[in-house]
Structures are given as structure tokens and as C-alpha cells.
Amino acid sequence: MSSPDGRTPAGWWERASLDARLAAALQANPRVSWRDLARAVESSESTVARRVRALTTSGALRTTVVVDSIRTGRGFPVTVYFAVTNKSLRTLADHLVARQDVRMVAVLTGRYGLLAEFITPSTEDLATILLDTLTGVDATFESMSEPVLREFKSTVDWSHSLVADIPGVRLPLLDLAPDEEPMALDPVEEAIAELLRVDGRMSFADLAQATGLSESAVRRRTDALIAAGRVHPMTLVDARLLGFHIQAFAWVDLAPSALADAVRALAARQEVRYVAATAGDSDLLVELIMPTQADLLRFRTEVLGNLPGVRGTRVSINVRTLKRAFLPVGVPGSDGE
């Protein structure tokens, strides 16, 4: 059960299994050294390496990097919701998972059975997707889109709450609304990002061999990309490993003057993994993660229901994530994805 104030329950780290602590630490810093990771979870380096390999093989954990679409000028996020007939659900889902411009796909409860997060360079490109590309899919559906105006909390921010008191683990948090002009990746940076997309913990020695750079040069280029926020190391984790069995999305309608206070209140809560202001049917898109359905009901009534300025809310449970961070997500333990 979540704590009443939305913070991580006291003693979570102490009660968590070794695998859960490893997953939490790797979410906070996917490229943390084996030595620092072992020190953080109070285990040996050999045990830590063996357990991480086992978790990766089972599909419960995967490290990668994501290129920041805003900082590199690739585009902005748009969440598109699909009301789909049961017969067409799999066809449309497979199409969305296969698309290179789709960062996330999830199956939801409620009227809109599919959610897809597109990265699109412009509103004109979005229009082309909606008017031309998607209409060619052999599926029956209707859609509704909401461009993301600004992100206020990310999954990286959320993961830090689980390791708040563990030194030597967390990466520095970056401003989600950068002021600097976008800068596209150069060919060497593209190569590094692609190698790390496949294996987010690839060593600098292996990166150097694959790119033809010296180890010191590839370390310098990689560290600069991460420090500037142009690529983000990520660890994708089966949330159940951390004790969170319910993932959901909430859409919040607010009086315009109440948005800033609502964002601060929601971003401070441990149950909230992601918050963004959107342009569409709702004002805020909120991704939630918590242990039980009882916690979700409590959050909806006691947190969302008590936000000043709220005009209405909708909540849907994410019953399965099919794609995250541009990577297809398999069923943990089924095929090693």
C-alpha cells in the first residue's frame, strides 16, 4: 500500500528483495558501475552481475538509451488514443509497435483500448499520420490525439524516489523543458546511441571497438551526450518486480489558473510516474503506478478528487505495455524479450 502522503513507504529498500533493489538502482542509473551497484545493494559484484543477467534474460529488465526528441530536434510527443473493435485490436497494435516514430504502445481499459505515443516533427506531419498513414491500416477504429505541450515529471524522476537515500547511484535530473536550441546528433553520436539502444550497459571498450574511436574518445562523447540530456539511459523494468501491480493513466480537466498548483501536487507524489500538459480533451496526462487497485481507488478519490480547480477526471488501467522507449515489450518470462 502506498503511504498516505504519496512518498515511498518507509523501509521499502530494506524490505525489498535483492532483485527489486537491483532493478530500482538500475532505473535510477542504468550505467552505474558493477562496483557501485554492488555497494548500493550490499552484495558482491559477481552476484550482482549474475542476477542482472538473469533478470535481463527473463525479460524482467532491459537497459537501453532513448534519444531526447526535443533536445535533438526530432519532434514533439503526441499521444493518440484509439477506440478499436476487438477484431481489429491486434492488427492495429502490431502496426503501432512496428512504427519507428512510436515511442510507446499500451492496451487500456475503457473506451480507448489503445494508447500510442508518437514523436512527430510538426503538426503537419501529425496530420499526415492521422489523415493518410493510419487510414491505410486494415483495422476499424476511431482516434483522438493530444499533443504534449510540456512534460513536468518523467519516469527517471520517479525512479529516484526508490533510491533517494542510496549514495553513488542516481544520475542528475535534467530540466524537462530545455532553453537551449535543439542540436541534431552527428553520425558518430548516432552510432553510439544506436549501440546503446540495443545494450544500454555496453562497455566503453566495446563501444570503442564498434565505432572505431579510442576508448577515451568514446567515453568523452558518451558522457557528453548523457550530461547534455541528448540521450537518456533507461532501464525498462517489469513493475511487478518492484511490488507495483497496477499501472494506469489519468486524464485531468482543470481550470486554467489551477494547472500550476495541480502539477506541483501531482509531481511530488510517488504514485505518479509521469505528468504532462496536453492540448486536447484533457489538460493533464498522468501516468500512475501503485501496488493495488485499492490504492488506485484511494488515489482517484483522495488525491485527484481533492485537487483545487479540478473539473473532471478519467482513469484507465494499463493492462499491458506493448512498447516502451521505442522497444517492443514481451511478456516477462515467456520469450526472453
Q: What is the mean pLDDT of each run of 10 residues along the chain (337 residues)?
A: 50 84 89 91 94 94 93 95 93 96 96 96 94 90 94 80 60 64 95 96 96 97 94 91 94 95 92 94 96 96 94 96 92 46
Residue with cell 499520420: 129
CA pseudo-torsion sign 204, 210, 215, 219 = negative
**What does the alpha-carbon distance between residue 93 and residue 288 come to, in Å, rounded to a whole number?**
22
Q: How high is the pLDDT of residue 173?
A: 57
CA pseudo-torsion sign 49, 51, 57, 59 = negative
Question: Which H or E run includes 105?
Answer: strand 102-108
The closest of 248, 236, 239 to 107, measured between CA atoms, is 248
The closest of 324, 237, 219, 307 to 23, measured between CA atoms, is 237
Angle of the 187-198 helix axis to the 204-211 helix axis, nearest 10: 130
Q: Counting beta carbons within 10 angstroms of the beta carbon of residue 273, is it exposed (0 to 12), middle (13 to 18) or buried (19 or more)?
A: buried
Backbone angles phi, psi at 171, to 5 degrees: -80, 150
Q: How high is the pLDDT of residue 127?
A: 95
Q: What contacts 130, CB < 8 A, 6 or more positions away?
A: 80, 143, 145
Q: How many CA atoms within 13 Å lie on the side-chain side of 94?
A: 8
Long-range pairs, 317-321, Cβ under 8 A, ≥24: 317/108, 317/109, 317/246, 317/247, 317/248, 317/293, 318/106, 318/107, 318/108, 318/115, 318/247, 318/248, 318/249, 319/107, 319/108, 319/109, 320/106, 320/107, 321/104, 321/105, 321/106, 321/107, 321/247
End-to-end CA distance of the chain: 29
Question: Which H or E run includes 15?
Answer: helix 12-15
Amino acid at 327: L
**What does the alpha-carbon distance between residue 110 and residue 316 come to, in Å, rounded to a whole number?**
6
Q: How high is the pLDDT of residue 313?
A: 96
- Give the predicted TM-score (pTM) of the model: 0.89
Q: How high is the pLDDT of residue 279?
A: 95
**What does the alpha-carbon distance between residue 70 and residue 41 come to, in Å, rounded to a whole number?**
34
